[in-house]
Amino acid sequence: MNNDKKLIIAIDGFSSCGKSTVAKDLAKKLNYIYIDSGAMYRAVTLFSLKNNIINEQTIDEKKLQSLLNNIKISFKYNTKTGEAETFLNGNNVEDEIRNIEVSENVSPISKIKFVRENLVKQQQELGKNKAIVMDGRDIGTTVFPKADLKIFMTADVDVRAKRRHKELSDKGLNVSIEEIRNNIKNRDNHDQNREISPLKRADDALILDNGYLTKEEQLAWILDKIEL
């Protein structure tokens, strides 16, 4: 594969596998757009929590469907951090969408057919000019089945829980490793077993087990597949 044309690169895999870290690094290196599709499911979840659509784990799907067009998700580049941030109806929600309440409610939201259809359409639109790295669960299977390069990432659940714990503690959020581990296992289970677009490796996706690879090693591994 060479780099004389603009590529669509799809990175899928389990929760908290480091997909976004490597996807961001790759996008920077190639000067591509990076889109975190999980942030979009998280933004819909945050909206649902704030608007009484989710109550005690029950989702008012009718209400969500009627308000779906009022949910405007965008990404803006923060020149200070050098990274894209998620905006929900004009408000920066980059940190809020990562909290444990959103993490605990995002799986049932991401199961809903009309939510997936709506977000997949937006994701395809974002990729229409190519030169994009998108990460998620169904990018290589559903969003961009003809992506130029597909990576499927995996890592041991304990390694993932430790990494997520460090990330949250660095942000001053106090959540136990056990709680994070349970959340990750739960989300893996939901992601793999949901009816619509379950998490599964596309037949033509390359497997990257990053449990014991550094950031730099992961990036080099992918760049090698692009043969810059």
Point out which residues bind ligand DC (CB under 6 A): 15, 37-38, 41-42, 106-107, 110, 136-139, 187, 191
Residue whose CB is less far from ligand DC, 16 or 222 = 16
Could you please report the per-residue DSSP string of 48-88? HHHTTSEETTEE-HHHHHHHGGG--EEEEEETTTTEEEEEE
Residue whose CB is less far from ligand DC, 3 or 92 = 92
Closest separation between CB of residue 45 and ligand DC, Å? 8
Residue whose CB is less far from ligand DC, 42 or 181 = 42
On whether the CB atoms of residues 132 and 75 are closer than 8 A, the answer is no
Residue whose CB is less far from ligand DC, 76 or 220 = 76
Closest separation between CB of residue 131 and ligand DC, Å? 19
Closest separation between CB of residue 163 and ligand DC, Å? 12
On whether the CB atoms of residues 89 and 72 are closer than 8 A, the answer is yes
Tell me the C-alpha distance between 151 and 205, whole Å.
5
Closest separation between CB of residue 91 and ligand DC, Å? 18
Residue whose CB is less far from ligand DC, 7 or 108 = 108
Tell me the C-alpha distance between 52 and 139, whole Å.
30
Neighbour-count burial for 150-165, b at 16+ CB within 10 Å, e otherwise: bbbbbbebeebbebbb
Closest separation between CB of residue 58 and ligand DC, Å? 19
Tell me the C-alpha distance between 126 and 130, whole Å.
8
